[in-house]
């Protein structure tokens, strides 16, 4: 009986330890640069998990976590809401990063050009907005290339050739490796507003400040009125908490990928 009891205790501890190990080593990367090993950062195998555990143990203390925030907007441009968003950002003197869909930019070229003219950054969100986790490497390459070429024909922001975001945040390790081989930084986010749903401006604001990190890359969408309405309050909350608004590209030039991928939550923003 004692042997059975001991075995059960051991199994329980092993199970609990395994769960904790998996929890501690879940993929969290918000930025994957061409120099990084995509499988180490986002793979789910034991080797990748051990790598992430060792990285956290050895690198965390040395990481710098400045109060920088990049507002990023996916999709579009859209003829109604994008101009309203640009007006709001301009009035607040806030630069932002727009991950534009090539096909939509083709349809509304003057809006893509206004985004650049207003001092914002433009990056690649593919040509037709497919789920890249369901595409072959050749298809992924084609989507990124076509999106890049359309955007470059309209604007001259070098970020369209160096930064991309997978539509819906859907990808595989192979997707990331294809983008890396093309020389792209894959930029995801540390703070998801959930504004793709039907939510109020207040809900968006509260979600952003609750999930604030330092530094912070915020996922938003340019085709939502509630998002436009939430911008002034979000900017005010973060500025009062000591944050500086920058583009995603500027953020990545000022901090290491590790600092972004392991950005700590900043409860002072929500408490402010």
- CATH code (residue 155): 3.20.20.370
Task: Report pLDDT for 268.
Answer: 81
Catalytic residue among 125, 129, 191, 221: 221
* pLDDT value of position 267: 84
Query: Other CB atoms closer than 10 Å to residue 59's CB: what's the count?
Result: 13
- Asked if the structure places residue 8 within a domain, the reply is no
Give the global pTM: 0.88
Assess if residue 186 is contained within a domain.
yes
The reply to whether 13 falls in a domain is no
To the query of whether residue 39 is one of the catalytic residues in this protein, the response is no
Vertex 102 angle, CA 101 and 106, to 5°: 120
Q: Do 101 and 147 form a contact (C-beta atoms < 8 A)?
A: yes
Which tokens hold the place of 209? 């400040």
Cis peptide bond upstream of 230, omega within 30: no
In a domain, 221, yes or no: yes
For 157, the token pair is 């922001």
Out of 40, 74, 124, 266, pick the active-site residue.
Answer: 74
Q: Indicate whether 265 belongs to any domain.
A: yes
Nearest residue to 223 via CA among 72, 70, 76, 115? 76
Residues of the domain holding 210 = 68-271
Q: How many domains does the chain have?
A: 1
Residue 221 is a catalytic residue: yes
pLDDT for the residue numbered 17: 56
Give helix 81-92 / helix 225-240 axis angle, nearest 10°.
20
Nearest to 101 by CA among 118, 82, 86, 85: 82
| pLDDT given at position 147 | 98
Q: Going residue by residue through the chain (272 aa), what tens digit of pLDDT does each one get?
A: 556 545 554 455 455 455 545 444 566 789 999 999 998 888 777 777 776 677 665 555 456 789 999 999 999 999 999 999 999 999 999 999 999 999 999 999 999 999 999 999 999 999 999 999 999 999 999 999 999 999 999 999 999 999 999 999 999 999 999 999 999 999 999 999 999 888 999 999 999 999 999 999 999 999 899 999 999 999 999 999 999 999 999 999 999 999 999 999 988 887 76
In a domain, 102, yes or no: yes
């Amino acid at each position: 009986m004692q042997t059975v009891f001991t075995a059960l205790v051991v199994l329980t501890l092993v199970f609990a330890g395994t769960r904790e190990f998996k929890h501690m080593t879940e993929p969290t990367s918000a930025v994957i640069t061409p120099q990084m090993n995509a499988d180490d950062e986002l793979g789910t195998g034991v080797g990748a998990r051990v790598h992430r555990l060792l990285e956290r143990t050895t690198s965390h203390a040395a990481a710098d976590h400045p109060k920088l925030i990049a507002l990023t907007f996916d999709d579009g441009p859209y003829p109604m809401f994008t101009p309203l968003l640009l007006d709001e950002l301009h009035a607040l003197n806030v630069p932002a990063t727009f991950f534009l869909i090539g096909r939509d930019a083709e349809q509304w070229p003057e809006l893509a050009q206004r985004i650049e003219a207003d001092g914002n950054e433009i990056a690649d969100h593919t040509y037709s907005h497919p789920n890249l986790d369901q595409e072959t490497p050749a298809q992924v390459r084609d989507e990124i290339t076509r999106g890049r070429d359309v955007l470059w024909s309209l604007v001259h922001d070098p970020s369209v050739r160096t930064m991309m975001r997978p539509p819906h945040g859907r990808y595989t390790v192979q997707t990331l490796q294809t983008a890396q081989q093309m020389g792209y930084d894959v930029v995801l986010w540390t703070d998801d507003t959930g504004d793709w749903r039907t939510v109020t401006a207040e809900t968006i604001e509260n979600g952003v400040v609750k999930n604030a990190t330092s530094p912070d890359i915020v996922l938003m969408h340019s085709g939502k009125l509630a998002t436009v309405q939430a911008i002034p309050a979000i900017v005010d909350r973060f500025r009062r908490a000591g944050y500086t608004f920058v583009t995603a590209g500027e953020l990545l030039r000022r901090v290491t990928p590790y600092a972004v991928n392991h950005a700590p939550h900043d409860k002072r923003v929500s408490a402010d």
